Amino acid sequence: MIEKIKSVLKQVEEFVIDSAKSNEDFRLKFLVKKGLVNELVDDFRTIDNSLKKEVGKELNTLKERARLKWEEAKEKFENKDGNQDKSKDLSLPVNSISFGGKHPISAVMKEISDIFSRIGFSTEEGPDIEDDYHNFSALNFAENHPARDMQDTFFVEDDFAIRTHTSSVQIRVLERENPPVRVICPGRVYRNEDVSARSNCFFHQIEGLYVDKNVSFADLKQTLYFFVREFFGKDLPVRFRASYFPFTEPSAEMDVFLGTETEEDYRLTKGTGWLEILGCGMVDVNVLKNVGIDTEQYSGFAFGLGVDRIAMLKYGIKDIRTMFYNDVRFLSQFTPF
């Protein structure tokens, strides 16, 4: 019987276990109730008592070796949850790994924020749903101003609306802090406007505010010239046009020149070659008074950048709507690899 035990031990040693399946085959052959090891155990009960000590020693060696080999393989091919790892065909093609990237809007907002942070502007954020005071009244909007109508503003309920600009954040900052104040306020804003290649009913702004002693319109212009040079990396033709905003006086809009050489540029600029990217002006004295700032000592300027249009300029995007379709073919152009 010892020879029989040694024969089975040799089979145990030579059995190749290279997967969870082959390990299960090993168990079925040697360790189950009707396996080869248990057959030897049954035979062991029938041998002469004088042989049991020697044969029993060999049989125990076989049982231990078979059990250890199976357990080691089981630990190797099973995960911690006890689920068997499926055998893998390493010749099969692997799934390609796709890398994500920043949305062009997010990338531009960060770049703009970094530029202004280098000249002393900190970043402030506020709620998307604003009350009438912070969104309109404190910013010098008259009670009958058209922007308060449903045609321009998305009202949530009486005296509350989805913010139409991030200027409301500036009011919250001025209520909380004394001058000097130098902040930018990035975020999404909402207006009831026609959707086209150059405008949308929601868009992104970065508004800036600087309030201190002796702040002038010249300071405002130099700040914006600095931004254009830093962001676009060159001196684009820039022009300021007189404009009107309830919360600034005097007010202006700043355009950059794209030209009309391509059909897209012609359509985007309405045939003028110029594209508006921001509005700006000196903070109206009524706004400063509304937040308790002494207008005899302090003045300030404010500006609001249209992030979406600047992203269009930077990346050559000709239709603002394509940035919000969630089209992977479009978004994959902005991955970092």
Residue 86's pLDDT is 55
Residue 161's pLDDT is 87
Q: Which residues pair with 183 in a beta bridge?
A: 122, 209
Say which amino acid occupies 270.
Answer: K
Residue numbers of the chain with a pLDDT score lower than 70: 78-89, 98, 147-151, 335-337
For 227-267, write each residue's pLDDT tens digit. Answer: 988 988 777 788 999 999 989 999 999 988 878 888 877 87
Strand, coil or helix: 242: strand
Q: How far is CA 34 from CA 29, 30, 113, 261, in A?
A: 8, 8, 75, 87
What's the gap between Cα 246 and its chain centre?
34
Q: Where are the domains of the chain?
A: 2-77, 104-334
The DSSP line for 108-173 is HHHHHHHHHHTTT-EE----SEEEHHHHTGGGT--TT-GGGSTTT--EEETTEEE-S-THHHHHHH
Task: From 305, 303, 182, select the one nearest 247 (Cα to Cα).
Answer: 303
Report the 10 Å Cβ neighbour count for 297.
11
Say which amino acid occupies 274.
Answer: W
Task: Classify domain 104-334 at the CATH topology level.
Answer: BirA Bifunctional Protein; domain 2 (3.30.930)
Residue 206's pLDDT is 94
For 88-110, write each residue's pLDDT tens digit. Answer: 667 777 777 767 778 899 999 99
Strand, coil or helix: 199: coil
Residue 151's pLDDT is 59
Residue 336's pLDDT is 61
